[in-house]
Structure 1
Amino acid sequence: MSQIVKLFGDNEKTALRRLKEGAGKADILAETGAVLGLDNVSFSVNEGEILVVMGLSGSGKSTMLRCLNRLVEPTAGSIRIGGTEVTELSTKALREFRRETFGMVFQHFALFPNRTIAENVEYGLEVQGVDRKTRRERALEAVELVGLKGWDAKFPRQLSGGMQQRAGLARALCADADILLMDEAFSALDPLIRRDMQNELRSLQQKLRKTIVFVSHDLDEAIHLGGRIVLMKDGAIAQSGTAEEILLDPQGDYVRRFVENIDVSSVVTLGRLVRPQPRLFQGAAAEEAWPLVEPAQSRADEVFVVTCDRDMPVGRIDRGRLSAPGSRGQRLDKLMDGGIARAPAGAVLKSVLPLLASEPHGLAVVDETGRFVGLLTREVALRALAGKQPNEERNTAWNGSSTTTAASASSLWTNTPAAPSIGSPSISRH
């Protein structure tokens, strides 16, 4: 979607011209009577991801969703899905493209009350002319997929609200569309049922790898669903990015107010917070390591020591010990302190706070293979809890270069970039 504009009213051309001239929403309304619904909205959605579009009522999020499949006709702009320019499709071609590409799940279920659940689920295939046997088989598969097996012969009135929404989701899945458009799909449900449906959707997305555009006004829901967030205000995008990016670096007062009551520690992962950290191989000699950690080369008081083969943290050593009498000629693994507390990069901050409180030297954050990513200190954790970004100066990577020890630097020093976050964290002490 690129530079999409939507104006509501009888003077769209005049209003569009005034918009291009720089007129604001209020001026356009006063001069032309047209309402600016979308103001040059642009974003992309990756195949197989969940993109959550959110904002307050009237922000333009539902209008944007309906522009994607032209249930609402955009006034200007481009909508490209795969190799198809959707805005150029004829009425007939658009109808076929919708059937093949989009599935929609609505807030109020939109089930036919006089049809059974199976008949509701197979309706899209019926419209496409699929034979009765095939569409019923696919409908029952979709019903089972969303946890409604055995309810296919019931009518909507015999199901709870959560079950009806599952039926609506099954109907969208039955058509095997590439993209699911979900407009406030769970907002009419009770809180517990709503969370169950959010979990169900995440599970289905991981299994089926559908591309999902999900409209919501609830930031907690957006965070729980995962993926990127597009936050809208007055028909324009106020900020987009991951939940972590928006929480750690909100752009403008509107976004800051939107996220101010969110528990940052339950969202931000350690991989997002840690800073690159110099590390030395355990087999190095003290006199070889010292030039690489002297103040001119490193701002770290302590340096992590890692294994020679897998870059796994095994200890730490400070400058004083490296330069102490008697250290010359000794290997680092004879001088270092062991017993490093580790935590995975995909763990959220809240899960490691008790451990961090008992570790004055911080935690060694590792990726899914156990490789050292960086150090999480109490200072960094407190800044995150206070809603501040990690200190940029301290976040600068040590480059590990030395004019006097260039030859040995490559064999002693590693500075691997932070790895992607991982899930299912477990915290350990080694």
Structure 2
Amino acid sequence: MNFPDSRVLSDEFPRRKYKPSSATRLEDIVLKGLHYGQRKLLLSEIEFLSAYLEGRQAGAKPTLVVYAGAANGSHLPFLFQLFEAVKFVLIDPAPFCDAVREISLNKQGPILDLVQGFCTDELCKQLSSSYGSTYDILLVSDIRSGVPEKQSNRENTLMIMRDNDMQRSWCWTLKAEAALLKFHPPYPPCRDRNSRHYDEADDTPESIEYLDGVRLFGVWAPKSSSELRLCVQGPFLQGTSFPMRRYDCTTHEEQCYFYNTDNRYTRDCAAESGILERYLQLFPSAPYSDPTALSMTISNFLGFPLFLPLDSSFSESDARWVTLLYSTRIPTCLELFTTLRGRVTHTVMKQLAEEWQSATTVPKGVSIDSVELTSEFWKAVCAGDLTEAYSFPNIRWRFANLLISRRRKRSASDRAP
């Protein structure tokens, strides 16, 4: 399978020393990307399936995707529409969305099996035995067996290594033709004894050995993400070996930090355009005139119709502004998008935060380009996630309690688009 150089993390990719977002001040913000989780998953799967099907030999068996960690899967119905000839086995102990569960009831539909449980070697052997003679099996894995935010770095390392070992094993027990694996080397251990992150017991290695494959950057991934997708091509047959390589943890972290802080919005737009263009070349009869039309359809399907990254009139300022409005989870706030479109830039938002975050009453008489900012605007600013939309540090608006409850603020910040 082949991928454009711009999509691949190569050994020669530039590095930048990682700086935690928590250490950022409003005065020296490092602008990062925007996170749209279901869009990220959908695009990675379109990219993988397009690349695989593009190189498939004539007369090959039909394709079956075994998807470990597939829940809640709200983007999957759209993927099924794009790849009508591909079948799926979906595996996850977490609940699937209503649409996926309903589709799974159709015996003639795209889902051959919906497994409400953990992916295991035993299950993969059963799937290989049941479907291997009829289908070429692909593995897609988006598993995570723990919650990194609640773990020490040492605990997180153990989780990553355990997950990596499971994914690698499933490639062979499924006898997969190819796989798209979640990939993330451990975070380097903190060596600064004066840092609050220092842990004398942290024995995280400086490097790890794992499958050698193509490392693909995420599109619309979390703003500081160093998680990639590792594309490995088999077939993974018993008795055969697969090339391994050593991954340096610090190098990986610093290369991903460079990617995330070097005009990532433009990179994500270009990546989405390229992925959708490749799909349309593979399926010229698809009902979309161009990548922009397909991108807009994706936005509507995922519930973010105002987020239009491939529209030539839609700027990065527009994208950040509408992302903030979506993060509020307050439908009426979206009415502000058109009113202030093109006016609420990163610089303007930073100036507003610097001047008004300490105000004890809701600001009045404040305008942007002669448009007065209403209480609804200030509600959006207080309820929205400025960290996600503008890479700001945590801003505490002193007047926020006059417009929103603390519970709503916490809820909005806990759920990214």
TM-score tier, shorter chain, comes to under 0.3
Q: Provide the TM-score with structure 1 as the length reference.
A: 0.23
TM-score (norm 2): 0.24
**Higher percent of residues as strand:** 1
Higher helix share: 2
**Greater Cα radius of gyration, structure 1 or 2:** 1
Which of the pair has the greater relative contact order for Cα pairs under 8 Å at 6+ separation?
2
